[in-house]
Amino acid sequence: MEEILEKILKNHIKGECNIISLLQEVQEAFGYIPEKAAHWFSKKLDIPASRFYGVATFYTQFHLKPRGENVVTVCRGTACHVKGSERLLNRLLIELGIPHGEDTTDDLKFTVEKVNCVGACGIAPVVILNKKVHGKMTLDKLMKDIKKA
Amino acid sequence: MNKEIEIKVCTGTGGIAAGGKEVLSTFKKTLPSAGIEATFLENCSIHKVGCRGFCSKDVLVDIVIDGEKTTYENIKPDMVDRIINEHIIGGNPIAEWTVGEAYNNFHKKQKKVVLSHCGEIDPEDINAYITAGGYEAAKKALTSMRPEKIIEVVSASKLRGRGGAGFPTGLKWELSLKIKSEVKYIICNGDEGDPGAFMDRSVMEGDPHSVIEGMIICAKATMSKYGFIYVRAEYPLAVKRLQMAIDQCYEAGLLGKNILGAGSDFDLKIFQGAGAFVCGEATALMRSIEGKRGMPTPKLWRSAVKGLWGKPTVLNNVETFANVPQIILKGADWFRHFGTERSGGTKVFALTGKVKNAGLIEVPLGISLREIIYDIGGGIEGGRALKAVQTGGPSGGCIPEELLDIEVDYESLAQVGSIMGSGGMVVLDETNCMVNTAKFFLEFTQAESCGKCIPCRIGTKRLLEILDRITSGKGKEGDIELLEELSRDVKATSLCGLGMTAPNPILSTIKYFKHEYEAHIRDKKCPAAVCKDLITFSILEEICTGCGACKRVCPADAIRGIRKMAHRIDPDICVKCGTCFDVCKFKAIMKI
């Protein structure tokens, strides 16, 4: 872990050090932001760890817990809402057995998350399965795609 | 055969989702092996194009032979063979695959200025942009115009901020030019956070160079040397294409030191947002670029005076910048003649929801909502009745059917209680509940409120609680008045635009659809049969054939019945998900 962090740090000392970009790289490397990483950078850069925590919890892109192997993102934008994305989401949580208030299955196979708008409203409702955008989604299609994943 | 042939495949986010990349690679793979002579292949270009707006018909493919264009819709990789054999080699377009009336009507009343390159040129190739007249405006501005002159032209064009607030662009630039400072910034706001809006995404993906060119011109006009493009994290393709465009510009000497040998310097960088709606607000966005929590700060100074890192900063929206090159090139009069008295030019809208032809459109300001929805949008899906049009996203309002003839511009939309906003336009029909719609937007703004100021943090929470109560059948007399009063307070006392506009969806739906609120509160009924707690599902025994389709899909096992006999829904177990309603082919399931 330390090696990767060193590398990220090196990249950043070159440019102006920006906590957001730094955390984006940490997340890219680990899939989430390990608490240890925040403390490590805090010491190296002499920035209070609370600032890392503050930024990481402010922006929805950052995650403090490990994520599932497959990430299913349901768009909850207006166009998708009007076309029934709320029901897609609820059904998905039931099917995958994710308890209320959680977003990841116990076996860390799936994480289900919401996004405010993907900006692909012309093909609503939209679901992103492992970074690939799928449009005009139906419950049946979604379940089939998920079983394949 | 010595024909010029161009094959254009749509690869915007919508196009890629429909399989655009696969179609493109099939063309590239199949064409050379289709038995065509090599000389012929030399005259053949196959490339990607950005979004042309009509995403519901993707993948869209243009075949241009000697200037004659044929457009195909809904193309899949396995259809490519036939197109090559019959059309490209045989010379006969395949009539049953070409675009129909809907596609042509969709484009008839549009006027493409900002989107003129989207769907025409390869967004990843600077030479395609230059061939189409790109960077001519930058050349003109940098080599032959003084900053004051550039600002004069932009002001005369009556271009106003396309992010939604409509601040005159020329005036903003003038404020910045007047401030003397060694370091000045310009920022392009690509944090398009409104749900239901994708204008800026399409421009950044489909014509990234037009945004950069607009920024180069702005940099000269305001004497700024540094620029940022703030793009939200949800738009990875836009980030990729902008970065490619920026790299190409540095190579071509269009960015960096002594641009085009005309003596001005300009450095441009992308900053990726990390997912926060409030960062669309100017001061919050700047805090975010500074690497802090994206919270707004009181506007004691205009950002043109004191912005990013305390330096003078011009912040404009993607679409605003994309308009600039054409204004400089074709003149203020040309641009102004599209719009209305008060605002010049065209506006890009994301027309979505229950409309037949959903997509990205660009229309002259002053067009009526009715023309947009019925002529361009082709009317309402499934022949149902239109109920309202929602403009401006969570900061906007709902406009009822009887006001569809108003002219679309900043002032008239504000007059009816909505806003222009960045350009989201969501059409709602009779199956949409207006109280639920207001609640949807409040859920959004409540979750996105940064929590810094109390009116927004607690006000939106209380508003949402009241709406929750109403939609779950626990509304009380006086709730409507309470909503109105609290809405006015939140609007008047919030720190930034998020809170100041958050109650708009509530106020506009109460204004035009008060009867729906009353039905929820007094009769405990949802007229559109949307609000879960106020509806019940039941099976009409005379129609039910006992096919069992509903029973198989019910996630709660709430449906009982023997095959070929009428089934029944147990209301105590039913979770009201509506799945049975959707799968029943015989319309035997009732929702009231």
Q: Which residue among B18, B193, B428 sits closest to A135, beta carbon to beta carbon?
A: B18
- Which domains, and CATH codes, for chain B? 5-100 (3.40.30.10), 133-336 (3.40.50.11540), 346-429 (3.10.20.600), 434-523 (1.20.1440.230), 536-591 (3.30.70.20)
pLDDT at residue A143, as a whole number: 87
Q: List all residues of chain A from 25 to 64 with a beta carbon under 8 Å from chain B.
A: 54-55, 58-62
- What sign does the CA torsion over B104, B106, B110, B115 have? negative
Instruction: Please write the tens of the pLDDT for every residue from B251-272.
Output: 999 999 999 999 999 999 999 9
Provide, rounded to the nearest whole percent, the portion of chain A with pLDDT above 70.
97
CA distances from B390 to A13, B57, B504 (A): 46, 23, 11
**B228 touches A at CB < 8 Å:** no
What ipTM was reported for this prediction?
0.86
> Which residues in chain A are closer than 8 Å to B352, comparing Cβ atoms?
78-79, 82, 121-122, 124
- Which domains, and CATH codes, for chain A? 2-58 (no CATH), 70-148 (3.40.30.10)
- Rounded Cα distance between B57 and B509, Å, is 32
pLDDT at residue A15, as a whole number: 60
**Which residues of chain B are under the pLDDT cut of 70?**
1-2, 35-39
**B435 touches A at CB < 8 Å:** no
**A130 touches B at CB < 8 Å:** no
Burial of residue B263 (number of CB atoms within 10 Å: 0-12, 13-18, 19+): exposed
On the question of pLDDT at A118 being above 90, the answer is no
- Rounded Cα distance between B323 and B141, Å, is 14
CB pairs under 8 A between A and B: 147
**A114 touches B at CB < 8 Å:** no
pLDDT at residue B38, as a whole number: 67
Burial of residue B280 (number of CB atoms within 10 Å: 0-12, 13-18, 19+): buried
Q: How confident is the model at residue A100 (pLDDT cuts 50, 70, 90)?
A: confident
- Rounded Cα distance between B424 and B233, Å, is 19
- DSSP result, chain A: -HHHHHHHHHHHHHS---HHHHHHHHHHHHSS--HHHHHHHHHHHT--HHHHHHHHHHSTT--SS---SEEEEEE-SHHHHHTTHHHHHHHHHHHHTPPTT--B-TTSSEEEEEES--S-GGG-S-EEETTEEE-S--HHHHHHHHHH-
pLDDT at residue B292, as a whole number: 92
**B119 touches A at CB < 8 Å:** no
Q: Which residue among A18, A91, A123 sits closest to B14, beta carbon to beta carbon?
A: A123
With CB atoms and an 8 Å threshold, state whether B424 touches A20: no
Rounding to the nearest 10 degrees, give the CA dihedral for residues B22, B114, B160, B376: -80
On the question of pLDDT at A16 being above 70, the answer is no
With CB atoms and an 8 Å threshold, state whether A59 touches B55: no
Output the pTM of the full model.
0.90
Backbone angles phi, psi at B229, to 5 degrees: -110, 115
- Give the residue from B285, B352, B380, B573 with the most A CB atoms within 10 Å of its CB, the best one to mutate: B352
Instruction: Please write the tens of the pLDDT for every residue from B327-354.
Output: 999 999 999 999 888 888 999 999 988 9
> Which residues in chain A are closer than 8 Å to B235, comparing Cβ atoms?
119
Instruction: Please write the tens of the pLDDT for every residue from A48-93.
Output: 999 999 999 999 889 998 999 999 999 988 888 888 888 889 889 9
**B55 touches A at CB < 8 Å:** yes
**B280 touches A at CB < 8 Å:** no
* A124 contacts B198 by C-beta, under 8 angstroms: no
